[in-house]
Amino acid sequence: MLDDTQANPDPDSAAVVLLSGGLDSSTCLAIALERGFQVHAISFRYGQRNVSELERASTLASSMGAVSHRIIDIDLAQLGGSALVDTSIAVPKSDRVEDIAADIPVTYVPARNTIFLSYALAVAETCQSTDIFIGVNALDYSGYPDCRPSFIAAFEVMARLATKAGVGAESGAAESHGGSRKLRIHTPLIDLTKAQIIAEGLRLGVDYSHTLSCYDPVQSNNSDGQPCGHCDACLLRAKGFAANGISDPAI
Amino acid sequence: MLDDTQANPDPDSAAVVLLSGGLDSSTCLAIALERGFQVHAISFRYGQRNVSELERASTLASSMGAVSHRIIDIDLAQLGGSALVDTSIAVPKSDRVEDIAADIPVTYVPARNTIFLSYALAVAETCQSTDIFIGVNALDYSGYPDCRPSFIAAFEVMARLATKAGVGAESGAAESHGGSRKLRIHTPLIDLTKAQIIAEGLRLGVDYSHTLSCYDPVQSNNSDGQPCGHCDACLLRAKGFAANGISDPAI
């Protein structure tokens, strides 16, 4: 179900790509475009500390060739419970990647990917698309429950029943619609390390100088957010570029 | 999985109830309260024509005894595609309940219940709740894909994997947590007709005069929204009260 090797879509097939403006989702966008999809990119303004990433997302969507880019306002901040949206909880910082905690980090946002994928499903149904791309990967699902392959697989099953296209699937009728595609959640990065993701992005020409991965970027008058260099995201990113033998073009 | 007869919760167990301010969700709220839950009600302002229902929801949550009520702003309107949020699509009207179309109505909002339940999941995780109530019923799931029992069951499976509480469930570890409750999506109305829902609500003392079910209520200077009397929701509601031998107290 999570096999991501299916043949390319028909010309003009639409896909929805979740685009945060970070390294992973930008690579995911490049992969969706390479596979021939007309991409509708969506981003979320959800009270995150890192609002600069939304500007990066707009730049990337436009420069890489997405046919549309929506920024959807959602209010997760009122739910609290995560360092990414609750400024009373500190973002963990370190100089060493080995210090990243093995359990669920405080940067976890309750049900975030469930909500993000639900909006993606709504956009997909509106665009007559049956393909959604999300850039979750192995490094994430060690810590975030809603990045695990089992979660993605369960979401896909649910999503196929949730929409107009899914009506009739219960009785098997959907199978008999000649050539109709079933809804798929594509996770092309799921088994890749950060170094492998960067290598794939470089092959596809992703300009990583426009991406921002930091959980807690430094704002100043003459910049739109510089990476802190010490949060989990910054440490993993630095390690990934180092493994590819190059420096991070965003720093 | 959809069996809704489990024993009452421990004292002070929290539940999240989706409350639109209509007849079904108000009855669902009364059932959750009767079962002994501390109820956190949530409603959505999603660009619907029927904003008056949100005022009704606040009144009902307070008067019926919910411990909290959140109105969450979400922007489904920008997705378009439904008469409930897109004023360029007419709400179907008739004088006869027999005229209600058998296929998916234009009032269907893409992925609406998926998005609603995803927010409920986030609130549940924040409140340390493992119980979510939604008032879908048999009349709905003949037309709306995201009201079907198969959809609800699939959402429940996904939700158990999506949250911190679900970590470890893959390996069966969650089963061994002494006494921990698995996340449940309760659908106490799912097999009831509108007449049976009303009978249950009357037994529980729901004041239906405060509820509003209409898809397209009439706004005027001296009212906060009167039912149109001719949309699918109004026709089904009228039939339900008639079957109970009483007139609708909201008219």
| Mean pLDDT of all residues belonging to chain A | 80
CB contact under 8 A, A79 and B161: no
Binding residues of B for ATP: 19-29
Q: How confident is the model at residue A188 (pLDDT cuts 50, 70, 90)?
A: very high
Give the pLDDT confidence of B2-32 residue by residue, as tens digits.
Answer: 445 555 677 679 999 999 999 999 999 999 9
Looking at chain A, the whole-number percentage of residues with pLDDT higher than 70 is 72
From the list A207, A248, A186, A153, the residue with the least C-alpha distance to A26 is A207
What is the pLDDT at residue B31?
Answer: 98
C-beta separation of B135 from B25 below 8 A: yes
Assess A68–B contact: CB distance below 8 Å, yes or no.
Answer: no
Name the token pair of A218.
């430094």
The pLDDT of residue A171 is 44
Measured between beta carbons, the chain A residues lying within 8 angstroms of B112 are: 122
Task: Quote the pLDDT of residue A170.
Answer: 47
CB atoms within 10 A of CB B142: 13
CA B166 from chain center: how many Å? 24
Nearest to A126 among B79, B154, B163 (CB): B79
pLDDT higher than threshold 70 for residue B147: yes
Q: Any CB–CB contact under 8 A between A140 and chain B?
A: no
Q: Is A145 in Cβ contact with B163 (below 8 Å)?
A: yes
Query: A227 pLDDT band (50/70/90 cuts)?
Result: confident
Average pLDDT over residues A58-81: 84
Query: Scanning every residue of chain A, which has its alpha carbon at the shortest distance from the alpha carbon of B146?
Result: A162
Confidence of residue B46 (pLDDT cuts 50, 70, 90): confident
How far away is chain A from the Cα of B193, in angstroms, using its nearest Cα? 21
> Cα–Cα distance between B81 and B89 in angstroms, integer?
8
pLDDT of residue B149: 92
Closest B-chain CA to A164: B145
Residue with tokens 């893409």: B110
Which residues of B sit in the known binding site for Zn(2+)?
214, 228, 231, 234
Q: Which letter, b or e, does each residue of B163-200 get, where b requires 16 or more Cβ atoms within 10 Å of its Cβ?
A: bbbbbebeeeebeeeeeeeebbbbbbbbebbbbbbbbb
**Structure token pair of residue B228:** 């149109």
A209/A201 Cα distance (integer angstroms) = 12
Asked if the C-beta of A204 comes within 8 angstroms of chain B's C-beta atoms, the answer is no
User: What local confidence, expressed as pLDDT, does residue B197 receive?
Assistant: 95
Q: For B76-100, what is each residue's pLDDT tens digit? A: 665 655 555 555 656 556 666 665 5
What is the residue-wise DSSP string for B16-67? EEE--SSHHHHHHHHHHHHTT-EEEEEEEESS-S-THHHHHHHHHHHHHT-S
Best probe of the B interface among A69, A104, A129, A155, by most B CBs < 10 A, is A155
pLDDT at A133: 98
Q: How far apart are the first and last CA of chain A?
A: 38
DSSP secondary structure code for residue B125 in this structure: H
**Parallel, antiparallel, or unpaired: how do β-strands A223-226 and A184-186 relate?**
unpaired
Helices (H), ranges, A109-231: 112-126, 138-141, 149-162, 173-176, 194-203
Q: Name which residue leads in pLDDT, B26 or A93.
A: B26
Average pLDDT, chain B: 80
Distance CA A72, CA A119 (A): 9
DSSP strands (E only) in chain B: 14-18, 38-45, 68-73, 131-133, 184-186, 218-220, 223-226
The Cα–Cα gap between B135 and A123 comes to 25
Strands B218-220 and B223-226, sheet pairing: antiparallel
The whole-angstrom distance between A167's CA and the closest CA on chain B is 6
Q: Is B111 on the interface with A (CB under 8 A)?
A: yes
In this prediction, residue A35 carries a pLDDT of: 97
Cα A157 from Cα A161, distance rounded (Å): 7
Q: Which of A89, A70, A71, A76 is nearest to A47 (CA)?
A: A76
Domain B14-243 has CATH 3.40.50.620: yes
Instruction: Give chain B positions within 8 Å (CB) of A113.
Output: 162
pLDDT for the residue A106: 56
Q: Kind and range of the H or E element at B116? A: helix B112-126
Domain spans of chain B, in order of start: 14-243
Given an 8 Å threshold on Cβ–Cβ distance, is B167 in contact with A145? Answer: yes
* Amino acid of residue A70: R
Three-state SS at A226: strand
Which pLDDT value is given to residue A101?
56
pLDDT of A204 higher than 90: yes
Helix, strand, coil percentages for chain A (3-state, nearest 5): 40, 15, 45
The number of residues in chain B equals 251
Contact B161 A170 (CB under 8 A): no
- What is the structure's pLDDT at A8? 62
Query: Measured between CB atoms, does A162 come within 8 Å of chain B?
Result: yes
Interval A190-206 mean pLDDT:
95
Residues of chain B contacting residue A75, judged by C-beta atoms under 8 Å apart: 72-74
Chain B touched by A74 (CB under 8 Å): yes
Nearest residue to A188 (alpha-carbon basis) of A240, A131, A237: A131
Give residues with Cβ within 8 angstroms of A197, minimum separation 6: A23, A24, A27, A137, A189, A240
Question: What DSSP designation does A220 have?
Answer: E
Please answer whether residues A152 and A42 qualify as being in contact, where contact means their C-beta atoms are separated by less than 8 angstroms. Answer: no
SS3 B181: coil
| Structure confidence at residue B1 (pLDDT) | 39
pLDDT at A77 over 50: yes
Give how far A130 is from chain B: nearest CA, Å: 13
User: What is the longest distance spanned by two Cα atoms in chain B?
Assistant: 59
Count of other CB atoms within 10 angstroms of residue B105: 18
How confident is residue A95, by pLDDT bands cut at 50, 70 and 90?
Answer: low
**Binding annotation of A:** 19-29, 214, 228, 231, 234
pTM (2 decimals)?
0.83
pLDDT of B68 above 70? yes
| pLDDT at A149 (0 to 100) | 92
**Residues A142-161: tens digit of each pLDDT:** 677 888 899 999 999 999 99
In this predicted model, which residue has the larger pLDDT, A25 or A95?
A25
For residue range B209-245, what is the model confidence (pLDDT) as tens digits? 888 887 777 776 656 678 888 887 888 888 899 999 9
Segment B30-36 shows an average pLDDT of 97
Query: Does B74 lie at the interface with A, CB-CB under 8 angstroms?
Result: yes
pLDDT bucket at A181, cuts 50 / 70 / 90: confident
> Where is B117: in which H helix or E strand?
helix B112-126
For the segment A106-124, the average pLDDT, to the nearest whole number, is: 85
Four-point Cα dihedral A164, A166, A171, A173, nearest 10: 80
pLDDT score, position B213 = 80
Q: Is B125 close to A110, i.e. CB distance below 8 A?
A: yes
Q: Which of B80, B122, B150 sits opposite A111 (nearest CB)?
A: B122
